[in-house]
Amino acid sequence: MRAIFSALALSLAMPLPGCAGDSSEAERAATIPVTVTMAGKVHVFNVEVARTDAEQDRGLMFRTSLPADGGMLFPFEKPRIGSFWMKNTLIPLDMIFIRGDGSIDRIAENTIPESLEPVVSGGEVSAVLELSGGTAARLGIDETAKVTWKDGK
């Protein structure tokens, strides 16, 4: 999955790259822990990191499931409007749009598999965390949560 980097691109109706890739274990990235803290509760997810354009293009496409504590993190070099689509993504996802300070800009819950409709952040974000659809509601995660991770690259 790849972010579109400006609202202008959306207004020009440029095609949006989507979640892509195959689900073979050999192609999956190493995982890092991402912590979501809210109201005294801590949830730790072990997620793949999509650092390069190619990894972001591949994203979670063609996967048929995710572990309950799994997902994918899409960090950006600079904060920007995040825009994603679900092309060839077979499972619903919760997309958590994260500001530079770790606060949550927006949560798009249970995005529609294979949809070409853009899922857009509310403002500029530094990363997007994708989890299995329904995870945010199941764990009571909302926009008051804080998201942190250490990425050793």
If you average pLDDT over residues 60-68, what whole number do you get?
A: 95
Average per-residue pLDDT in the chain? Answer: 85
CATH architecture of 7-148: Sandwich (2.60)
Q: Quick check: helix, strand or coil at residue 36?
A: strand
| Stronger pLDDT, 47 or 6, i.e. the higher one | 47
In the structure, what pLDDT confidence band is assigned to residue 30 with cuts at 50, 70 and 90? confident
In the chain, what are the domain boundaries?
7-148
pTM for the whole structure: 0.82
116 CB-contact burial (10 Å; exposed 0-12 / middle 13-18 / buried 19+): exposed
CA dist., res. 37 & res. 144, Å (int) = 9
Q: Between 23 and 58, whose confidence is greater?
A: 58
Q: Tell me how far apart the alpha carbons of residues 14 and 151 are, in angstroms, rounded to a whole number.
A: 31
